[in-house]
Amino acid sequence: MLSVVPGATAATVRLYLAVLLVFGAGIIFSIYGGARLVGPGTALPLAPTQSLAVLPHVGSDTAPAAATTVTRRAAATGSIFSSLEQNAENPLSRLFVQIGVILGAAWVVGSVFRFFGQPSVLGEMMAGVLLGPSLFGWIAPDAFNFIFAPASLGALRLFSEIGVCFFMFAVGMELDLSQLRYTAHRSLAIGHSSIVIPYFFGVLLAIPLYGLYAQPGARFAPFALIMGISMSITAFPVLVRILQDRGLFQTKLGGIATLCAAVGDATAWLILAFVVAVANASDLRSAFFTLTLVGAYTLVMLFVLRPVLQRAMRPALDRAAEPTKGILAASFGVVLVSALCTELMGIHALFGAFIAGIAMPAGGGFRKKLIVRIEHFTSVLLLPLFFAFVGLRTQIGLLGGTREWLICGAIIVVATLGKLGGTAVVSRILKMSWRDSLQLGALMNTRGLMELIALNIGYELGILSLRIFTMLVLMALVTTFMTGPLVSLFRGGQTSDD
């Protein structure tokens, strides 16, 4: 320990005060004296006689002088508020305000949903819709237009897309290809059936809706394919979280559901990549070339880059230690380069991030540790920004008539019957009990964030109009909200060990 001598302490204090006073006074006098200097390009001040010549005559009446003082004070006060307002409209300041409002709303609504036994991510999705024109813009339009001014949404959009890319990277790492390769035929059959059957219903539904809700200039084929995706996709991460919350993750049903969702997820994203290629290409030849290029790139990532990463990261894989900063930097570099490559190919950047996640080496719990770090960053900060950005596009007020609300209800019913019903029927044919079949169907009916990502792509490609976009967002929220209660209903008195 350091010993403190009283005399030395007093000398230190005196030295400290002397330095502050002497040099502080020097700074003040230097600034005061320098204020009289003439800067470069500045006109010389008027001589005393010239300045007196233009001064107003001072008489006995002092009212004008008092009025001038009040005016100056008011002008100074107005200048302060004007400066604050101008600073608040600075792009960085506005972005901080947007992030603060979004994160606060996501935390509050997520806590409410968690209190009622729902996944917090569903509450965060709902918070994004509530912050949009459907509620916040309707209740406080001035505040909404100030915080989410259209000209300021560019930075918010970029942050949200980066968050989705890192989220898809984590989803890719959660898929175990070795497990999928040797999975039971039943899981493969159920997983693909849970995609094909609702996809068929989605394409059928696109026939009457195309003329009403496709964006002007959109072709029928991309519209029908996007409608099929919206009916068939499953939110794999949300499903896993629901299984964990309800004690089903380690059960036989939880294992089947996880494998089926993984198979379905991989298939759905391949189909979505095809849709993007078709929508962006001018003809089928261009679409085929794009898909061939993406296929070759995927093979290179899985069979060339993955072994290289396996050898380079072997020390981190062989031991149970946490990933170093160098390993994290290399992993993030792989994500960014892969996302850039698929973006340049004409496929969305999130596909590159997804492939990068699949290509990451496994061993020593490396993937799980990396997933935890990425999820802490994306789920807390970036994904709520994506939910809010989607919510800004969700305008429930556009569904003004009874017919459109009936159409929205029909979409929810068709999506549920196709996904839940199709999965349950196929599972029952494959000798599962009706109780397990219905539970599995309810779990596969979870759409959540994955649905919002697909819908956002469909809108940005110029395929979905805002009306059908809003209907499908509501369908995603409703079907995801139904999952927990339906699993409990179909489960009945069954224990988690069954």
pLDDT band of residue 387 (cuts 50, 70, 90) is confident
pLDDT band of residue 86 (cuts 50, 70, 90) is low
Q: Which residues pair with 464 in a beta bridge?
A: 214
Q: Cβ(121)–Cβ(241) under 8 Å?
A: yes
pLDDT band of residue 73 (cuts 50, 70, 90) is low
Q: Between 66 and 114, where is the model more confident? A: 114
How confident is the model over 91-115, as a mean pLDDT? 88
Q: Cβ(281)–Cβ(290) under 8 Å?
A: yes
Per-residue confidence (pLDDT) for residue 145, from 0 to 100: 87
What's the CA gap between 461 and 455, in Å, rounded? Answer: 10
Q: Cβ(464)–Cβ(455) under 8 Å?
A: yes
Question: Could you tell me the pTM of the whole model?
Answer: 0.73
Per-residue confidence (pLDDT) for residue 176, from 0 to 100: 64
| CATH number belonging to the domain at 161-382+403-491, selected among 3.40.50.300, 1.20.1250.20, 3.40.50.2300, 1.20.1530.20 | 1.20.1530.20
State both tokens at 15: 């030295």
Per-residue pLDDT reduced to its tens digit, 227-272: 998 998 887 767 777 776 677 766 778 778 877 877 777 777 778 8
Helix (H) or strand (E) holding 447: none
pLDDT exceeds 50 at position 337:
yes
What's the CA gap between 498 and 493, in Å, rounded? Answer: 10
What's the CA gap between 469 and 226, in Å, rounded? Answer: 11
Q: Cβ(278)–Cβ(221) under 8 Å?
A: yes
Q: Is 387 exposed, middle or buried (0-12, 13-18, 19+ CB in 10 A)?
A: buried
Angle at which helix 422-429 crosses helix 434-444, to 10 degrees, equals 140
Q: CA–CA distance from 363 to each of 173, 307, 353, 370, 408 (Å)? A: 12, 13, 20, 12, 46
Contacts of residue 377, Cβ cutoff 8 Å, sequence gap at least 6:
166
What's the CA gap between 238 and 472, in Å, rounded? Answer: 18
Percent of the chain residues topping a pLDDT of 90? 12
Per-residue confidence (pLDDT) for residue 146, from 0 to 100: 86
Q: CA–CA distance from 29 to each of 18, 21, 23, 33, 451 (Å)? A: 16, 12, 10, 6, 65
Sign of CA dihedral 426, 430, 431, 437: negative
Per-residue confidence (pLDDT) for residue 415, from 0 to 100: 93
Q: Between 279 and 343, where is the model more confident? A: 343
What's the CA gap between 109 and 120, in Å, rounded? Answer: 8
Q: Between 88 and 30, where is the model more confident? A: 30
What's the CA gap between 241 and 121, in Å, rounded? Answer: 10
Q: Which residues pair with 214 in a beta bridge?
A: 464
Least reliable range by pLDDT among 101-105, 146-150, 174-178 = 174-178
What's the CA gap between 16 and 251, in Å, rounded? Answer: 69
Taking the CA of residue 222 as centre, how many other CA atoms within 13 Å lie in the half-sphere pointing to its CB? Answer: 31
Closest by CA to 497, choosing from 250, 187, 241, is 250
H-state helical runs in 131-251: 136-139, 141-147, 153-174, 177-181, 185-213, 220-232, 236-245
Per-residue confidence (pLDDT) for residue 162, from 0 to 100: 87
Amino acid code (one letter) for 373: R
State both tokens at 385: 């920004």
Q: How many residues does the chain have?
A: 498
Per-residue confidence (pLDDT) for residue 69, from 0 to 100: 52
What's the CA gap between 415 and 193, in Å, rounded? Answer: 14
Amino acid code (one letter) for 472: L
Q: CA–CA distance from 164 to each of 153, 331, 377, 465 (Å)? A: 16, 16, 11, 22
pLDDT band of residue 81 (cuts 50, 70, 90) is low
pLDDT exceeds 90 at position 407:
yes
Per-residue confidence (pLDDT) for residue 377, from 0 to 100: 77
Sign of CA dihedral 181, 187, 193, 195: negative
Q: Cβ(408)–Cβ(471) under 8 Å?
A: yes
Per-residue confidence (pLDDT) for residue 468, from 0 to 100: 93
What's the CA gap between 274 and 405, in Å, rounded? Answer: 31
